[in-house]
Amino acid sequence: MPRVAIIGLGLIGGSIGLALKRAGLESLEIAGHDNEWGVAAKAKKCGAIDVEERHPTLAVEGAAIVVIATPISKVPAVFEDIAPALGENAVVTDTASTKRDIVRIAQKALPEGVHFVGGHPIAGKETSGIDAADAALFDGRPWAVTPSVHASERAIQTVENLIQLLGAQPVLIDADEHDAYMAAVSHLPLVAATALFSLVRESQGWAELGSLAGPGFRDTTRLASTDPGLSHDIALTNRENLLHWLDRYIEELRRYRGLIADADAQERLLEVFVRAQTERDIFVEHPPERPRPEVHRDDLTPGERMASLFTGEYVIRRRKDIEKLMQERENPRRGER
Amino acid sequence: MPRVAIIGLGLIGGSIGLALKRAGLESLEIAGHDNEWGVAAKAKKCGAIDVEERHPTLAVEGAAIVVIATPISKVPAVFEDIAPALGENAVVTDTASTKRDIVRIAQKALPEGVHFVGGHPIAGKETSGIDAADAALFDGRPWAVTPSVHASERAIQTVENLIQLLGAQPVLIDADEHDAYMAAVSHLPLVAATALFSLVRESQGWAELGSLAGPGFRDTTRLASTDPGLSHDIALTNRENLLHWLDRYIEELRRYRGLIADADAQERLLEVFVRAQTERDIFVEHPPERPRPEVHRDDLTPGERMASLFTGEYVIRRRKDIEKLMQERENPRRGER
């Protein structure tokens, strides 16, 4: 029976299992491992996996696809653990929020003949753990795909197929660009929200401040509730990009400060607010478009889906994108800095 | 028939009308005015008001309670307009997001014998206007009450009764303190969110950045969609407090920057993330408590509710709070700076 292995069964790993089950593939076995006691049993009970394995090595044995959904900082150790047990032509992917380091480490740690294609589902929740797992977590969300230089086109297609089966939209992107972009739209907001919360929380008037805080404060600081291990891993593995965007943010706040303080700048200040509101409303109504896959999985029978996952029969016909990406990676240029 | 007048029928004014109707008072007339053509007619159609008046003067004539729910910058002009038409002992309140200037202007602009008790419902939505009005908008939300020095205790109680009828919890507070606190939990988040959005939106990589932005970016920047007139009014009328908190925020971001950049500070950085997450989870689960009213409106018949609104029979028995507030206002001290 074809086998998919999921290493790490928290919110993301658990949701991948549930979403894969929801896709209704014929005779697929999902093996799962989590190094925290009792988690894999829970995952099995809630139907996210079929088989519970006590060691990553056992989970990946005979698996055509391996998904590593542990915290970022644990991924290198998982590579070491599973490397000897991976079969020829196995496709390995992950779900870490930063990609440059992971892809580089994978290239060194995984044996030849194994194809690493990094992944990052741009989805999440305030809650974490297997109890929060949700088959619909990835529906309609972008999912970055960052292949290693050794990954075959077929392996990339396999991962893209998997992502579509989970309900998400694969977005092929260079790992360095991914990290540069995510620093702006994910990691800077994380630090901005956390700093805002800690500033207000640690101030002397907290009892009064907290009792008067409304939904605006709650939303703006939501990311301060991110798992602290994840926040720290992100800061460690995307440091340069994050510092760059932090500096730009401090600069932007100074610009606002200048406009607010200057009685003669009130018209400009109003313009700044008008522009931000207008542009954000446009963003919410019509976010910049992502390339959409041409084939809808709803057109396929469960059997066809199964076949497509492993044989790449129903691939997203994006050879041009892939070729372009490969060329770019040979002549690397950075994302916007 | 007892009359309440609402001047300004946007999201807040319209929701006040709907919530007042929901309270099921006997034979209360709600008169409404909005200076934008067609808005009062809409408010009448959706049941937020009973009577549509073409001029604020006409709306407040014979009204026991007047609620001014216009933008902050329009409130002084409304004071001028309605001053000659207000009856002896009329209670005037407002809903502006900043209170110090409004209370000072009210003290000068309104005639003797009229009682001004400022108000600020700490509730809102991303959308605005009468079409977004919602009877449940204020349910369970705090509503700041900032009396002028001339307001009688009875007038304060009337406004607190009104607020409870609307489903909210009155929080008696000095106007200066209100503005100092709101700068931290509302106005700084507004500027932080707007600056974050404008920084990313105006950067060259927006097409890619915007397409990869997830729910975290959306939530953290939600306040950038605030009505720009309101944002500007807030910056104008709470400038000093806002600049103070902006400076502290920039300082806090620099502290994070230092920790992220310093390879030797990683343990401290992790601690900072752990503390922020823990404290925010506590905040979400158990926000600092507000003093709760002792009487629940559900215990009262519609007739009793009606009586209570105008006679103060079911008042929140918080004389001590009020006396303390009055004393503090005679010996003013600033909120936490």
The average confidence (pLDDT) of chain A is 88
Q: Do A212 and B171 touch (CB under 8 A)?
A: yes
Residue B328 has pLDDT above 70, yes or no: no
Residue B86 Rama label (left phi>0; alpha psi -120 to 50; beta): beta
B327 pLDDT tier (thresholds 50, 70, 90): low
A289 pLDDT tier (thresholds 50, 70, 90): confident
The A residues from 189 to 208 touching B (CB cutoff 8 Å) are 189-201, 203-208
- Give the pLDDT confidence score for residue B313 in this predicted structure: 36
What's the whole-number mean pLDDT along residues B136-140?
96
- Give the pLDDT confidence score for residue B335 in this predicted structure: 42
- Give the pLDDT confidence score for residue A182 in this predicted structure: 97
The A residues from 106 to 125 touching B (CB cutoff 8 Å) are 122-124
Residue B270 burial (CB count, 10 A):
18
Nearest CB to B185; choose among A181, A198, A209: A209
What's the whole-number mean pLDDT along residues A186-215?
95
Lowest mean pLDDT of A273-277, B51-55, B124-128, name the range.
Answer: B124-128
- Return the residue matching tokens 């949700």: A134
Rounded Cα distance between A180 and B208, Å, is: 11
- Give the pLDDT confidence score for residue B300 in this predicted structure: 54
| Residue numbers in B near A333 (CB within 8 A) | none
The average confidence (pLDDT) of chain B is 88
What's the whole-number mean pLDDT along residues B77-102?
96
A145 pLDDT tier (thresholds 50, 70, 90): very high
For residue B174, give how far its alpha carbon lies from the nearest alpha carbon of chain A (Å): 12
Q: Do B288 and A204 touch (CB under 8 A)?
A: no
Q: A336: nearest CA in chain B?
A: B205
- Give the pLDDT confidence score for residue A175 in this predicted structure: 96
| Residue numbers in B near A195 (CB within 8 A) | 249, 252-253, 255-256
Q: Does B210 touch chain A (CB under 8 A)?
A: yes
Q: B186: nearest CA in chain A?
A: A217
Q: Do B123 and A199 touch (CB under 8 A)?
A: no
| Residue numbers in A near B184 (CB within 8 A) | 200, 203, 205, 209
Total CB pairs under 8 A between chain A and B: 302
User: What share of chain B in percent tops pLDDT 70?
Assistant: 86
Element (H, E) at A92: strand A91-94
The B residues from 265 to 324 touching A (CB cutoff 8 Å) are 266, 269-270, 272-277, 279-281, 283-284, 287-290
What's the whole-number mean pLDDT along residues B30-44?
97
Whether the CB-CB separation of A62 and A35 falls below 8 Å is answered with no
Q: B281: nearest CA in chain A?
A: A225
Element (H, E) at B121: strand B115-121
- Give the pLDDT confidence score for residue B24 in this predicted structure: 87
Encode pLDDT of B173-204 as tens digits.
Answer: 999 999 999 999 999 999 999 999 999 999 99
Rounded Cα distance between A110 and A60, Å, is: 13
In a mutagenesis test of the B interface, which of A230, A236, A247, A253 is the best target, namely the one with the most B β-carbons within 10 Å?
A253
Structure token pair of residue B158: 């009337």
Q: Which residue has the higher pLDDT, A204 or B333?
A: A204
pTM beyond 0.90: the answer is no
Rounded Cα distance between A249 and B197, Å, is: 10
Question: What are the helix (H) ranges across chain A?
Answer: 11-22, 39-45, 56-60, 75-82, 100-109, 153-165, 175-182, 188-201, 206-212, 215-220, 228-237, 239-261, 266-285, 302-311, 319-330
Residue A224 carries which DSSP code? G
Instruction: Give the phi and the psi of residue A110 in degrees, each rounded to 5.
Output: -95, 145
Would you call B137 exposed, middle or buried from its count of C-beta atoms within 10 A (0-12, 13-18, 19+)? buried
Task: Tell me the β-bridge partners of B94.
Answer: B68
Rounded Cα distance between B236 and A41, Å, is: 58
Q: What radius of gyration, in Å, describes the C-alpha atoms of chain B?
A: 22
Nearest CB to B194; choose among A122, A194, A273: A273
Residue B37 has pLDDT above 90, yes or no: yes
Encode pLDDT of B277-294 as tens digits.
Answer: 999 999 999 988 865 544
Residue A126 has pLDDT above 60, yes or no: yes
Instruction: Give the phi and the psi of residue A303 in degrees, each rounded to 5.
Output: -65, -45
Q: Do A239 and B217 touch (CB under 8 A)?
A: no
- Give the pLDDT confidence score for residue A128 in this predicted structure: 84
Q: Which residues of A192-229 are buried (b: 16+ CB within 10 A; e: fewer)?
A: bbbbbbbbbbeeebbebbbbbbbebbbbbbbbbbbbbb
The B residues from 58 to 87 touching A (CB cutoff 8 Å) are none
Whether the CB-CB separation of A302 and A26 falls below 8 Å is answered with yes
- Give the pLDDT confidence score for residue A46 in this predicted structure: 96
User: What share of chain B in percent tops pLDDT 90?
Assistant: 80
Encode pLDDT of A47-69 as tens digits.
Answer: 999 999 999 999 999 999 999 99
In a mutagenesis test of the B interface, which of A73, A145, A211, A255 is the best target, namely the one with the most B β-carbons within 10 Å?
A211
Rounded Cα distance between B98 and B100, Å, is: 6
Q: Does A54 touch chain B (CB under 8 A)?
A: no
- Return the residue matching tokens 């209370």: B103
| Residue numbers in A near B248 (CB within 8 A) | 199, 203
Rounded Cα distance between B95 and B72, Å, is: 8
B1 pLDDT tier (thresholds 50, 70, 90): confident
The A residues from 139 to 168 touching B (CB cutoff 8 Å) are 141-142, 144
For residue B331, give how far its alpha carbon lies from the nearest alpha carbon of chain A (Å): 19
Rounded Cα distance between B257 and A242, Å, is: 9
User: What share of chain A in percent tops pLDDT 90?
Assistant: 80
Q: Does B25 touch chain A (CB under 8 A)?
A: no
Give the N- to C-terminal CA distance of chain B in Å, as an integer. Answer: 47
Amino acid sitting at position A254: R
For residue A233, give how far its alpha carbon lies from the nearest alpha carbon of chain B (Å): 9
Rounded Cα distance between A90 and A62, Å, is: 9
In a mutagenesis test of the B interface, which of A11, A138, A179, A208 is the best target, namely the one with the most B β-carbons within 10 Å?
A208
Lowest mean pLDDT of A227-236, A308-317, B86-95, name the range.
Answer: A308-317
B309 pLDDT tier (thresholds 50, 70, 90): low
Q: Is the dihedral of CA A95, A99, A105, A109 positive or negative?
A: positive
What's the whole-number mean pLDDT along residues A257-277?
95
Closest of B39, B30, B42, B24 to residue B4, by C-alpha: B30
- Give the pLDDT confidence score for residue B27 in this predicted structure: 84
What's the whole-number mean pLDDT along residues B269-273?
95
State the SS3 of A259-281. HHHCHHHHHHHHHHHHHHHHHHH
Encode pLDDT of A1-43 as tens digits.
Answer: 799 999 999 999 999 999 999 998 878 999 999 999 999 999 9
The A residues from 236 to 265 touching B (CB cutoff 8 Å) are 236, 239, 242-243, 246-250, 252-257, 260-261
Whether the CB-CB separation of A130 and A101 falls below 8 Å is answered with no
Whether the CB-CB separation of A68 and A8 falls below 8 Å is answered with yes
Nearest CB to A212; choose among B122, B224, B232: B122
Q: A292: nearest CA in chain B?
A: B211
B64 pLDDT tier (thresholds 50, 70, 90): very high
Lowest mean pLDDT of A195-204, B10-19, B29-38, B301-310, name the range.
Answer: B301-310
- Give the pLDDT confidence score for residue B318 in this predicted structure: 37
Q: Do B194 and A283 touch (CB under 8 A)?
A: no
Q: Do A212 and B260 touch (CB under 8 A)?
A: no
Residue A45 carries which DSSP code? H
Encode pLDDT of B12-34 as tens digits.
Answer: 999 999 999 999 887 899 999 99
| Residue numbers in B near A269 (CB within 8 A) | 232, 235
Residue A183 carries which DSSP code? I
Q: Do A228 and B197 touch (CB under 8 A)?
A: no
**Kind of pairing between the strands at A65-68 and A142-147:** unpaired
Closest of A84, A194, A150, A154 to residue A315, by C-alpha: A154
Q: B256: nearest CA in chain A?
A: A195
- Give the pLDDT confidence score for residue B289 in this predicted structure: 80
B320 pLDDT tier (thresholds 50, 70, 90): very low
Rounded Cα distance between A126 and B217, Å, is: 13
B268 pLDDT tier (thresholds 50, 70, 90): very high
Residue A298 has pLDDT above 50, yes or no: no
Encode pLDDT of A160-186 as tens digits.
Answer: 999 999 999 999 999 999 999 999 999
